Amino acid sequence: MAGDGAALRVRIEEKSYASPGGETVPVISGLEMSLPPRAFTCLIGPSGCGKTTTLRILLGLDDEFEGKIDDRFRTARLAAAFQEPRLLPWRTVRQNVDLALPRDMTDREAVIGRALADVGLEELLDRYPGQLSLGQARRAALARAFAVRPDILFLDEPFVSLDEATAQRLRGLLIELWTHHPVTVLMVTHNVREAVQLADRIVLLTHRPARVVGEVAVTLPREARTQETVGAFAAELARRHPGLVTL
């Protein structure tokens, strides 16, 4: 992808779904945002406002919308990790990573070995997903996403339904991976503290139909992001955006 330093821009004029009764339900309306290269952007907003729908459009999984997506999304190498780890159950961890790699990638065994070692799964390469804990499966999904060496990485609530200690370890791991392999990230989360802990900037959406109501730079240096400073930053966001940001 062209490393020209410009931000990737997106404008989704309108996206609707049909309700079971056949009515048109607008889900996104006039959503405009940009993704600065190699920045970690979190997308937050009320439940059901259209965050996953936005991600699906950017990933090219849904083209039934009106708007303009930067052409570079179409030529960039994309990777994603979702709420469900989405590993193929009949393939081993090693094979799951291998299947995601570009066909022309050389040195695959080394790439796979390194990616899984980076997330602490070097002993579990030949296990099947059913033999992993949820936390281990999430690690494997992150390893797979980074192994692809993407230009843009999309994350949709990758740590939801984990116990807090495991989620916290994986957040640390994600930042470590991203620091070593800087990539443009767009991560959807419900959890404003998680967004403040991880992001360079937070894009805040309205209730459905979603549009952007604000962009917040997280100015806390990463080494100063403690439970207290993150909590205070998140509380200030909730104070400024009542009804949209809840702690």
Ligand X SMILES: Nc1ncnc2c1ncn2[C@@H]1O[C@H](COP(=O)(O)OP(=O)(O)OP(=O)(O)O)[C@@H](O)[C@H]1O
Cβ(152)–Cβ(73) below 8 Å:
yes
Nearer to ligand X, 17 or 90 (CB): 17
Nearest of 35, 25, 38 to residue 55 by alpha carbon: 35
Measured from the CB of residue 197, what is the shortest distance to ligand X in angstroms?
Answer: 19
Nearer to ligand X, 51 or 94 (CB): 51
Question: What does residue 65 show for φ and ψ, rounded to 5 degrees?
Answer: -155, 165
Nearer to ligand X, 72 or 190 (CB): 190
Measured from the CB of residue 156, what is the shortest distance to ligand X in angstroms?
Answer: 8
Element at 173 (helix H, strand E): helix 164-180
Nearer to ligand X, 45 or 150 (CB): 45
Residue 108 to residue 101: CA distance in whole angstroms: 8
- Which segments within the chain are labelled E, that is strand? 8-18, 24-35, 40-44, 66-69, 78-81, 152-156, 184-188, 201-205, 212-217
Which of 6, 17, 126, 179 is the binder for ligand X (CB under 6 A)? 17
Site string for ligand X, 24-63 (x = CB under 6 A): ---x-----------------x-xxxxxxx----------
Measured from the CB of residue 27, what is the shortest distance to ligand X in angstroms?
Answer: 4
How many residues contact ligand X, by CB under 6 A?
12
Residue 32 to residue 211: CA distance in whole angstroms: 7
Measured from the CB of residue 186, what is the shortest distance to ligand X in angstroms?
Answer: 13
Residue 175 to residue 217: CA distance in whole angstroms: 17
Within residues 165-224, the interface with ligand X by CB under 6 A covers: 190, 208
Sites of contact with ligand X (CB under 6 A)? 17, 27, 45, 47-53, 190, 208
